[in-house]
Amino acid sequence: MSNRLALRNHVRRNEAYHFAKTEVGPLRKNNLHNHDFSELFWIESGKGIHWIDGEKRAIGPSTLIFVLPEDFHTLGVTSPEEKLVICNLAFPTRTWRAVVKRHLGWDVGWFSRGVPERRERLLSPQAFDFLRRAGLELAFAPRSSLMLERFFLNLWVAPPRIESFSSVSGAPVAF
């Protein structure tokens, strides 16, 4: 059983995205859901499980994960002693596609398709530091299309560049 989440229930009129920093509770099957939007989240601290499309994947600090609208997923900790803090960005998939087409002219494969493990990245300390600062901007700036696009563009050009990110599994990933 799953729920379908709608972006309109998480944003105010004229907002282009939803951003939240959240402490995640226990892993529960009844929290499985999909969306009518894309989602990008990263682990600020702690360890837990990302249950996505029937697979349970261990997640920890500095992990960046892209979730497609059709993915059924949930997150959680496996014991009450664990604490998992995430930053979550929800945005219209059409916005992502338009930004990619307009600025890159090609598909950023890991960010748009493929099996869940191909949409996970363990970030370098420098890239994670950038992401944390960019998250603060997303949280406190007007939630406009401009700020969302700025975030995407900065993510692409932030040092180290995306090509140098390693996958969570440690295996090289072709872009």
pLDDT tens-digit series, residues 90-140 = 999 899 888 888 877 665 555 666 677 778 888 888 889 989 999 999 999
Strand partners, 107: none
Question: Rounded CA gap, 9 and 24, in Å?
Answer: 20
Q: Would you place residue 158 in the very low, low, confident or very high pLDDT band (cuts 50, 70, 90)?
A: low
pLDDT tens digit sequence for 51-71? 999 999 999 999 999 999 999
Mean pLDDT of 14-25: 96
Spatial separation of the C-alpha atoms in residues 145 and 15, rounded to whole Å: 8
The answer to whether 23 and 83 have CB atoms below 8 angstroms apart is yes
Per-domain residue ranges for the chain? Answer: 3-160
Q: Are strands 73-76 and 48-52 parallel, antiparallel or unpaired?
A: antiparallel
| pLDDT of the residue at 169 | 45
| pLDDT for residue 165 | 39
Average confidence score pLDDT of the chain: 84
Mean pLDDT value across residues 2-6: 85
Identity of the residue numbered 104: L
> Are the C-beta atoms of 32 and 2 separated by less than 8 Å?
yes
Kindly state the average pLDDT of the residues 146-174. 61
Q: For the chain, what percentages of helix, strand and coil (3-state, to nearest 5) are there? A: 35, 30, 35
Q: Rounded to two decimals, what is the model's pTM?
A: 0.85
- Tokens representing 6 are 């709608």
Class at the top of the CATH hierarchy for domain 3-160: mainly beta
